Amino acid sequence: MSEVSRLPVVVSENWDWQMRGACRGMDAAVFFHSDNERGMARKRREELAKQICASCPVRLQCLDHAVAVRETHGIWGGLGEGELRQLIATQV
């Protein structure tokens, strides 16, 4: 089997975890803030997103992905933006 014919399988294996996410099919606005979201509204949305992540069967794969691509926007793997920035900073 050539390298090219194996490529779709490798890519699929890297992304299949997303199909099992607890967030699958949900409104992305739960996990990403709007431009003008502040204060308690933002805190409540982040808490809801983190609750969803807490029971997610692929939470660790999601977090690994966020760290690998240095994602600092939104809730990923149960961590908020500030928490992601701190974690990524330790990976340098």
Sorted by sequence, the CB contacts under 8 Å of residue 17 that are 6+ apart come out as 58, 61, 62, 65
Residues belonging to the binding site for [4Fe-4S] cluster are: 23, 53, 56, 62
Beta-bridge partners for 76: 79
Q: How far apart are CA 37 and CA 35, in angstroms?
A: 6
Residues belonging to the binding site are: 23, 53, 56, 62
